[in-house]
């Protein structure tokens, strides 16, 4: 029998998934009717949004299946970021997030995710990952890595956009976009490492990632380079933000709880 918390998590997850599907479908129908519509890109962006929300919901609930939907999300998002000219995050998805889905799956399996366990009522169910917590020293290391990494990423991405601006490939040299993109790259790198290693503190970083992503896509929405699917990506990260708050709540409990291993011979 499900507890009140399990029921809340189920309905909250259902709300996020249903909402994202409805918004993606509505946006596709609305944009597809325009003469200048890019139907394929709109469909890919909608698919990325749905796969991404599914991925984050499963991650928040400690399910090993997060990495399957994470793989689908990475592929779709790579196409969207490339098309939007957000090259730092595009490179991040292709060179980092893609292989990290396999590494994360391997690490979570080592920490029990996907095993069958027997709960206190004697019911056999899929085990959630065994979460762990940071030390003060680890927090300091992450903070230092973020500051240094953002500075390096900004210098690199500024140089790339400056070259594109001089070549006439982009309409303006948007320093705000570059700074947000740089911070997003580093936060995503750190967050994915903590996710793969099952640290609860990943959710603090994902909250920051989602806030920065909301600012980034809002910036894109009001810029002259905005596309038909920009609004979908913005809504996606709003849902990500809501899920990251719930994920933090769930993982704080996961990191202090113990699961009962399944007995040998149990069906």
pLDDT at res. 177 = 78
Asked if pLDDT for residue 155 goes beyond 80, the answer is yes
pLDDT at res. 146 = 93
Question: Quick one: which H or E segment has residue 192?
Answer: helix 175-196
The 10 Å Cβ neighbour count of residue 219 is 18
Q: How far apart, in whole angstroms, are the C-alpha atoms of residue 208 and residue 213?
A: 8
Mean pLDDT, the chain, whole residue set: 84
Which pTM was predicted? 0.78
Does a structural domain hold residue 266?
no
Once rounded to an integer, what is the mean pLDDT over residues 17-27? 88
Do 96 and 216 form a contact (C-beta atoms < 8 A)?
A: no
Q: How far apart, in whole angstroms, are the C-alpha atoms of residue 264 and residue 248?
A: 33
Q: Count Cβ neighbours within 10 Å for each residue of 81-100 and write b for 16 or more, e otherwise.
A: beebbbbbbbbbbbeebeeb
Residues 6+ apart with CB under 8 A from 139: 201
Q: How far apart, in whole angstroms, are the C-alpha atoms of residue 228 and residue 33?
A: 11
Does a structural domain hold residue 42?
yes
Once rounded to an integer, what is the mean pLDDT over residues 187-212? 92
Does a structural domain hold residue 198?
yes
> Which range marks the domain in which residue 237 is found?
4-254
Does a structural domain hold residue 85?
yes
Which residues in 45-103 belong to E strands, given as ranges? none
Does a structural domain hold residue 41?
yes
Least Cα distance to 59 among 125, 1, 105, 117 occurs for 105
Percent of the chain scored above 90 by pLDDT?
37
Least Cα distance to 35 among 264, 172, 221, 228 occurs for 228
Distance (Å) of CA 53 to CA 10, 98, 187, 188: 14, 17, 18, 16
Does a structural domain hold residue 260?
no
Helix (H/G/I), strand (E/B), else coil: 256? coil
Asked if pLDDT for residue 241 goes beyond 90, the answer is yes
Which of 110-124, 234-248, 249-263 has the least mean pLDDT? Answer: 249-263
- Of 60-64, 119-123, 209-213, 221-225, which has the strongest mean pLDDT? 60-64
Least Cα distance to 190 among 179, 198, 202, 172 occurs for 202
Does a structural domain hold residue 187?
yes
Q: How many domains does the chain have?
A: 1
Q: Which residues pair with 261 in a beta bridge?
A: 117
Helix (H/G/I), strand (E/B), else coil: 209? helix
Do 250 and 56 form a contact (C-beta atoms < 8 A)?
A: no
Quick one: pLDDT band at residue 190, thresholds 50, 70, 90? very high
Asked if pLDDT for residue 35 goes beyond 80, the answer is no
Asked if pLDDT for residue 261 goes beyond 50, the answer is no
pLDDT at res. 84 = 74
Does a structural domain hold residue 234?
yes
Comparing 262 with 62, the larger pLDDT belongs to 62
């Amino acid at each position: 029998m499900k507890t009140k918390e399990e029921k809340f998590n189920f309905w909250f997850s259902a709300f996020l998934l249903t909402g994202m599907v409805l918004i993606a479908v509505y946006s596709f129908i609305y944009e597809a009717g325009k003469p200048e519509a890019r139907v394929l890109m709109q469909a890919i962006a909608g698919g990325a949004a749905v796969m991404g929300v599914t991925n984050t919901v499963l991650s928040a609930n400690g399910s090993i299946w997060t990495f399957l939907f994470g793989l689908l999300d990475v592929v779709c998002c790579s196409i969207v970021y490339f098309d939007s000219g957000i090259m730092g995050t595009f490179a991040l998805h292709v060179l980092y997030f893609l292989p990290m889905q396999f590494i994360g799956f391997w690490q979570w399996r080592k920490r029990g995710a996907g095993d069958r366990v027997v709960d206190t009522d004697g019911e056999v169910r899929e085990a959630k990952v065994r979460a762990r917590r940071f030390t003060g020293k680890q927090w300091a290391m992450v903070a230092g890595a973020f500051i240094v990494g953002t500075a390096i990423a900004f210098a690199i991405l500024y140089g790339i956009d400056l070259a594109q601006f001089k070549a006439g490939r982009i309409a303006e040299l948007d320093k705000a976009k570059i700074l947000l993109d740089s911070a997003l790259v580093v936060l995503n790198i750190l967050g994915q490492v903590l996710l793969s290693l099952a640290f609860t503190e990943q959710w603090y970083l994902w909250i920051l990632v989602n806030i920065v992503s909301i600012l980034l896509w809002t910036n894109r929405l009001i810029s002259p380079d905005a596309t038909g699917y920009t609004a979908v990506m913005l809504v996606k990260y709003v849902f990500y933000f809501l899920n990251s708050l719930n994920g933090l709540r769930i993982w704080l409990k996961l990191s202090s709880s113990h699961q009962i291993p399944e007995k040998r011979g149990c069906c």
